[in-house]
Amino acid sequence: MLKHRLFNLLIAIALMTVIALTVREVYATSLTVYQTNAASNCGELPSRYSIHTESVKETGTRLTYTEDGPTGVDGGLQELFTAYRTCSK
């Protein structure tokens, strides 16, 4: 009888753990989707025609800039193009 109750308790704990992890992931996904929708405000994006490259003498490289300044080194231009694609839909 003790083994039967212990088994049921373990099953209940496992089920609660799975439900808790599922709820946590749903919550995290909803926050990500909300932030993506809020961040892709199409009116705040710089003009596509303002994207250009400039040579940086200190580093000897070329960086992409917009009318608002540099697009960033770590994927800034890729993020900008992704936002444009979202706005065109």
pLDDT recorded at residue 40: 54
Q: Which of 17-26, 58-67, 70-79 has the lowest mean pLDDT?
A: 70-79
Instruction: Give me the helices (H) in the chain, please.
Output: 2-39, 76-87
Of 59, 80, 83, which is closest to residue 70 (Cα–Cα)? 80
Q: What is the pLDDT of residue 14?
A: 97
Q: What are phi and psi of 42, to 5 degrees?
A: -65, -25
Q: Do residues 71 and 64 make contact, with C-beta atoms less than 8 angstroms apart?
A: yes
Distance CA 62, CA 70 (A): 11
Which of the pair, 9 or 38, is modelled with greater confidence?
A: 9
Over the chain, what is the mean pLDDT? 78
Domains in the chain: boundaries: 2-87
Residue 8 pLDDT: 95
In the structure encoding, which two tokens stand for residue 61, read together?
Answer: 């490289």
Output the pLDDT for position 9: 95
Which pTM value belongs to this model? 0.41
| Closest C-alpha to 72, from 80, 84, 60 | 80
The tens digit of pLDDT for each residue in 38-71 reads 555 677 777 777 888 888 888 888 888 887 777 7
